[in-house]
């Protein structure tokens, strides 16, 4: 394990492996943490997490010393504040379409971002050690280490991808292939059209020295995306891995 912070590892384009956590139970996070992954990604966008279950899941990750990202359901400052206050390592923000939108999101993750759009301060939550970490220590550490990953999953974002990839504040661009296919009207179309959009995103990130991530259901196409410059991989989910293992067991048992 690198001694760098997780943000430094992401920005350094280190090869990183994580999985989605879609079950709103802290035990799932503990099990995932025992597997040797680099991070977990809690899916608060498409899974039934509420504030209490999300809080417990982040606590489990921190107790297991596993970096934990949260894919948030929206990009409001209040949602970002809640996730960071409970101690998440960073946020994965869906449907980031243009530089102005991204600038607003980044401002909401930083105390010293300037203006009223910045992160509201309180050291009373978990992130502040329940009052144990003073302002002079908490603010620079949080601003330095909080990870911001923007999902690129809309036609509008691809059209502006060179400008988006050049934004230094963003640590990684995460390709959402499914929503990208929907947005571009590629459902049922030749896969080459979607592949071309993905390749354009990767090329823009490579040119800007920006980390790029992607979700894959398994490792079958790992080398293909590594060749495109992808370094952050989210493979499957707790539920998918459980289902896959059960199918394997049942199949062998029925032989």
Give me the domains of the chain, ranges plus CATH numbers. Answer: 6-254 (3.20.20.60)
Phi, psi of 40, rounded to the nearest 5 degrees: -120, 150
72 closest CA partner among 38, 41, 104: 41
Provide the residue count of the chain: 255
For 121, which DSSP code?
A: P
Question: How far is the C-alpha of 103 from the C-alpha of 211, rounded, in Å?
Answer: 18
> Is residue 6's pLDDT more than 90?
yes
User: Is-contact 25 53, C-beta < 8 A?
Assistant: yes
pLDDT: is 188 or 36 the higher one? 36
HSE-CB at 119 with a 13 A cutoff on CA atoms is: 25
Q: What is the mean pLDDT of residues 64-76?
A: 97
Q: Give the pLDDT band (50/70/90) at residue 1.
A: very low
How far apart CA 255 and CA 251 sit, in angstroms, is: 6
Residue 165 has pLDDT above 90, yes or no: yes
Distance from chain centroid for Cα 130: 25
The predicted pLDDT at position 144 comes to 96
Q: Give the Cα-Cα-Cα angle 92, 218, 166 (nearest 5 degrees).
A: 35
Mean pLDDT across the stretch 60-72? 98
pLDDT at 3: 58
């Amino acid at each position: 394990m690198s001694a760098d912070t997780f943000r430094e590892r992401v920005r350094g384009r280190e090869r990183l492996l994580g999985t989605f956590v879609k079950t709103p139970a802290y035990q799932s996070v503990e099990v995932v943490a025992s597997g040797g992954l680099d991070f977990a990604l809690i899916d608060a966008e498409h899974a039934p997490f509420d504030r209490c279950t999300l809080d417990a899941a982040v606590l489990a990750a921190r107790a297991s010393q596993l970096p934990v990202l949260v894919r948030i359901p929206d990009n409001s400052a209040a949602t970002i504040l809640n996730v960071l206050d409970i101690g998440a390592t960073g946020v994965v923000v869906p449907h980031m379409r243009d530089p102005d939108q991204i600038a607003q999101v980044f401002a909401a993750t930083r105390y010293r971002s300037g203006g009223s759009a910045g992160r509201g301060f309180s050291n009373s939550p978990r992130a502040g050690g329940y009052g144990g970490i003073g302002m002079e220590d908490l603010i620079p550490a949080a601003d330095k280490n909080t990870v911001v990953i923007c999902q690129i999953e809309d036609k509008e974002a691809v059209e502006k991808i060179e400008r988006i990839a050049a934004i230094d504040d963003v640590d990684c661009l995460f390709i959402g292939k499914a929503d990208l296919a929907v947005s571009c009207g590629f459902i049922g179309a030749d896969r080459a059209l979607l592949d071309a959009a993905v390749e354009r995103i990767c090329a823009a990130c490579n040119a800007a020295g920006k980390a790029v991530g992607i979700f894959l259901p398994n490792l079958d196409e790992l080398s293909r995306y590594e060749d495109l410059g992808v370094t952050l991989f989210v493979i499957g989910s707790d539920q998918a891995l459980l289902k896959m293992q059960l199918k394997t067991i049942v199949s062998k048992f029925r032989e």
